[in-house]
């Protein structure tokens, strides 16, 4: 009966002389260690070797743990955690072989078992890299002379292959800088006095659970890798090895196009599209339970992952291309992406996937989605409220009969009560009450008051024109002699302007005339922000100025988000703002 878990402390010699044939599965990320990590491994080994030599006592140096999927008697071992370390150790063996030709045969045994040509045997490599790197790794690292060839290679390399060359170059230089006696001592120490804890289990999910407990680095395996392994395994079982390899390459293509982090985020959004509720278990478990195409793995890739990955790229980068409305769509997407939560993404993906060929509908949808999202942001809706709203919106988009018209999307509409709540929040103390929204709001307002097509600068901070702590004897205390009135205006929209950070630090809490000079002097003189330029036209900064400015600026946002309420339902705040 196969054991469910084994863990042993094993010397490097035991590990690399035949007990294991390590294979890096296709679902693993590319080799990613940098020269910093490879150099640290080499330096740690040298330091430990020298300490042992000085003390004269044999001591075992622990190199960490690896997690494998492995059956009892079969040496083949699929690496769940430890790819980076095992690959770098293999590279170090090759470097030492290159630096010590007299020990080449001994070291080669750690790289592969030589096959007997007379018997038609092939070499049995101790480590096989991911399929797309396996031949490169064999030729340039494991085979004799390969490491020197790799270091001398001037071809343009990318990703894992570039990391291999960079680390090989570093390790070879470090090894060749050592005296012969230190080289031999390092090799003997590495082979005989260094160990790894080898944890093996025959089950992928069990291996992943062990990995999750032992590691919090997140460097190697992620939930998307578990899903990938399971999906490709199902394709292999139902459609054959060739089909599985084809889809493994397609999966890698999609992941590389998006980037690993964004690809991982996409799976969370897909889960939410189907589950329509807060995640309560692991992503792997809930993806299996809720995503209906999971049991049809080819459909899962072709009809779910691939099309959603394409629209997710448009959504997160705000770079949709179309013959019309593309600029409008991307503008709304860019402002959605400034919000500090991403709960709006699932319905956005569903709508975009269905109506990608109808840009006019997309423009109308994302305009309304921006309004709903900023309403939830500004009114500080909790995560459960947000999830319920966006889940309801997703349900409204999904019916086959839905033609894309906004009239059927009731969730996108705001009631008069919600509009009043939105306007009141915009008219209030946004700096202290809405720390997660204030920058996005001021910049959204800036984008609306500037000329169309003018690029919006991003490297900004928010400046209080009326300072938060005005100095004694200043004009500020003369204009705002009532402390409560001063406090009520300090943190509202009318008193906040965007500045580049250099100008902000110089403005401080000067008197108004001097502060205006700080805003506009120096390189470029005029601030690139219209809201800030408006300050220059004022001779004084009094409550009267701020009342007019507040009404006008909140009115701009109110008009943009269509927050006018039905006649007869207007609050006193809205009455002061007008109907714009």
| CA neighbor of 202 nearest in space, from 12, 100, 113, 71 | 71
Question: Which letter does DSSP use for residue 6 in this model?
Answer: E
The three-class DSSP label of residue 201 is: strand
Q: Alpha-carbon distance 314 to 309, whole Å?
A: 9
Q: What is the CA radius of gyration of the chain?
A: 31
CB-CB contact of 554 with 547 (8 Å): no
Q: Alpha-carbon distance 30 to 133, whole Å?
A: 9
Q: Alpha-carbon distance 189 to 50, whole Å?
A: 10
**pLDDT value of residue 214:** 53
CB-CB contact of 491 with 431 (8 Å): yes
Q: Alpha-carbon distance 141 to 67, whole Å?
A: 23
Q: How far separated are the first and last CA of the chain, in Å rounded?
A: 77
Residue that is written with structure tokens 């300072």 in the block: 467
The three-class DSSP label of residue 173 is: helix
| One pLDDT digit (tens) per residue for the chain, 580 residues | 345 677 788 899 999 987 889 999 877 778 989 999 999 999 999 988 888 887 777 677 888 888 888 877 778 888 888 899 999 999 999 999 999 999 999 999 999 988 777 676 788 999 999 888 999 999 999 999 999 999 999 999 888 999 999 999 999 999 999 999 999 999 999 999 999 988 888 776 666 566 555 554 444 557 888 788 788 888 988 998 889 889 988 998 999 899 888 999 999 999 999 999 988 878 888 999 999 999 999 999 999 999 999 999 999 999 999 999 999 999 999 999 999 999 999 999 999 999 999 999 999 999 999 999 999 999 999 999 999 999 999 999 999 999 999 999 999 999 999 999 999 999 999 999 999 999 999 999 999 998 766 667 665 788 899 999 888 888 899 999 999 999 999 999 999 998 876 655 555 678 888 888 777 665 555 678 889 889 888 999 999 999 999 999 999 999 999 999 876 554 434 444 343 3
CA of residue 465 relative to chain centroid, distance: 36
**pLDDT value of residue 200:** 83
Q: Alpha-carbon distance 503 to 527, whole Å?
A: 9
Quickly list DSSP for 455-482: PPP---EEEESS-SSPPTTSHHHHHT-S
CB-CB contact of 74 with 21 (8 Å): no
Bridge-based pairing state of the strands 76-81 and 112-113: unpaired
| CA neighbor of 504 nearest in space, from 559, 464, 450 | 464
**pLDDT value of residue 579:** 37
CB-CB contact of 419 with 565 (8 Å): yes
The three-class DSSP label of residue 66 is: strand
Residues ≥6 apart with Cβ < 8 Å to 186? 45, 46, 49, 96, 175, 178
Quickly list DSSP for 492-559: SGGGEEEE-HHHHHHHTT--HHHHHHHHH-STT-S-S-HHHHHHHT-S---HHHHHHHHHHHHHHHHH
264, 478, 495 from 516: Cα distances, Å: 47, 18, 13
Buried b (16+ CB within 10 A) or exposed e, 267-306: bbbbbbbbbbeeeeeebbebbbebbebbeebbebbeebbe
HEC secondary structure over 256-304: HHHCHHHHHHHHHHHHHHHHCCCCCCCHHHHHHHHCHHHHCHHHHHHHH
**pLDDT value of residue 107:** 94
Angle between helices 241-258 and 223-239 (to 10 degrees): 150
**pLDDT value of residue 460:** 72
Structure-token pair, residue 242: 């060739």
Question: Which letter does DSSP use for residue 142 in this model?
Answer: I
Q: Alpha-carbon distance 318 to 308, whole Å?
A: 15
Q: Alpha-carbon distance 369 to 332, whole Å?
A: 8
**pLDDT value of residue 516:** 80
Residues ≥6 apart with Cβ < 8 Å to 475? 511, 512, 513, 540
Q: Alpha-carbon distance 534 to 448, whole Å?
A: 14
Q: Alpha-carbon distance 446 to 25, whole Å?
A: 50
Residue that is written with structure tokens 């250099």 in the block: 502
Structure-token pair, residue 223: 């939930």
The three-class DSSP label of residue 381 is: coil
Q: Alpha-carbon distance 123 to 81, whole Å?
A: 25
Q: Alpha-carbon distance 42 to 315, whole Å?
A: 43
Strand partners, 125: 112
Residues 474, 435, 543: CA angle, nearest 5 degrees: 35
Q: Alpha-carbon distance 286 to 279, whole Å?
A: 8
CB-CB contact of 238 with 244 (8 Å): no
Q: Alpha-carbon distance 264 to 223, whole Å?
A: 8
Backbone dihedral angles phi then psi of residue 124, each to the nearest 5 degrees: -105, 105
Q: Alpha-carbon distance 487 to 466, whole Å?
A: 10
Element (DSSP H or E) covering residue 105: helix 104-108
Element (DSSP H or E) covering residue 315: helix 306-317
**pLDDT value of residue 318:** 94
Q: Alpha-carbon distance 108 to 110, whole Å?
A: 5
CA of residue 428 relative to chain centroid, distance: 34
Full-model pTM: 0.70
């Amino acid at each position: 009966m196969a054991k469910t878990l084994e863990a042993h402390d094993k010397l490097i010699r035991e590990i690399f002389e035949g007990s294991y044939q390590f294979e890096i599965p296709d679902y693993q990320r590319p080799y990613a260690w940098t020269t910093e990590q490879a150099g640290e491994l080499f330096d740690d080994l040298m330091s430990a070797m020298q300490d042992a030599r000085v003390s004269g006592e044999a001591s075992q140096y622990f190199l960490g743990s690896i997690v494998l999927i492995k059956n009892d008697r079969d040496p083949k071992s699929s690496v769940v955690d430890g790819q980076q370390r095992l690959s770098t150790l293999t590279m170090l063996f090759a470097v030492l072989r290159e630096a010590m030709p007299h020990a080449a045969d001994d070291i080669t045994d750690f790289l592969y078992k030589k096959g007997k040509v007379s018997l038609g045997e092939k070499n049995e490599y101790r480590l096989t890299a991911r399929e797309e790197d396996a031949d490169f790794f064999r030729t340039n690292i494991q085979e004799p002379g390969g490491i020197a060839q790799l270091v001398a290679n001037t071809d343009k390399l990318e990703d894992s292959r570039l990391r291999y060359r960079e680390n090989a170059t570093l390790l070879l230089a470090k090894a060749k800088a050592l005296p012969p006696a230190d080289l031999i001592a390092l090799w003997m120490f590495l082979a005989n006095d260094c160990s790894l804890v080898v944890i093996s289990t025959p089950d992928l999910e069990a291996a992943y659970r062990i990995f999750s407990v032992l590691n919090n680095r997140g460097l190697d395996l992620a939930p998307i890798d578990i899903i990938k392994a399971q999906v490709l395994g199902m394709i292999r079982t139902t459609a054959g090895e060739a089909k599985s390899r084809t889809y493994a390459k397609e999966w890698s293509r999609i992941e590389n196009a998006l980037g690993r982090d964004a690809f991982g985020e996409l799976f969370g959004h897909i889960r939410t599209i189907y589950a329509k509720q807060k995640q309560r278990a692991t992503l792997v478990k809930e993806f299996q339970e809720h995503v209906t195409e999971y049991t049809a793995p080819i459909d899962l890739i072709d009809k779910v992952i691939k099309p959603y990955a394409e629209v997710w790229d448009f959504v997160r980068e705000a770079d949709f291309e179309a013959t019309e409305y593309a600029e409008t769509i991307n503008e709304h997407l860019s402002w959605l992406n400034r919000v500090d939560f991403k709960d709006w993404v699932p319905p956005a993906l569903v709508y975009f996937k269905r109506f990608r060929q109808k840009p006019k509908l997309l423009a109308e949808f994302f305009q309304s989605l921006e309004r709903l999202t900023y309403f939830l942001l500004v009114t500080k809706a909790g995560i459960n409220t947000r999830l319920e709203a966006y889940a309801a919106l997703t349900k409204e988009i999904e019916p086959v009969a839905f033609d894309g018209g906004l009239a059927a999307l009731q969730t996108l509409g705001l009631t008069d009560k919600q509009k009043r709540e939105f306007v009141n929040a915009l008219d209030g103390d946004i700096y202290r009450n809405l720390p997660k929204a204030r920058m996005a709001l001021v910049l959204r307002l800036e984008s609306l008051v500037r000329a169309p097509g003018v690029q919006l600068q991003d490297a900004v901070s928010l400046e209080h024109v009326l300072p938060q702590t005005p100095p004694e004897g200043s004009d500020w205390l003369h204009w705002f002699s009532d402390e409560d009135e001063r406090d009520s205006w300090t943190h509202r929209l009318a008193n906040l302007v965007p500045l580049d950070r250099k100008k902000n630090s110089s403005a401080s809490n000067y008197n108004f005339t001097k502060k205006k000079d700080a805003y506009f002097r120096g390189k470029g003189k005029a601030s690139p922000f219209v809201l800030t330029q408006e300050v220059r036209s004022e001779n004084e900064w009094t409550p009267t100025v701020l009342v007019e400015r507040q009404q006008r600026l909140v009115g701009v946002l109110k008009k943009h988000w269509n927050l006018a309420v039905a006649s007869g339902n207007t609050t006193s705040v809205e009455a002061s703002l007008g109907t714009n």
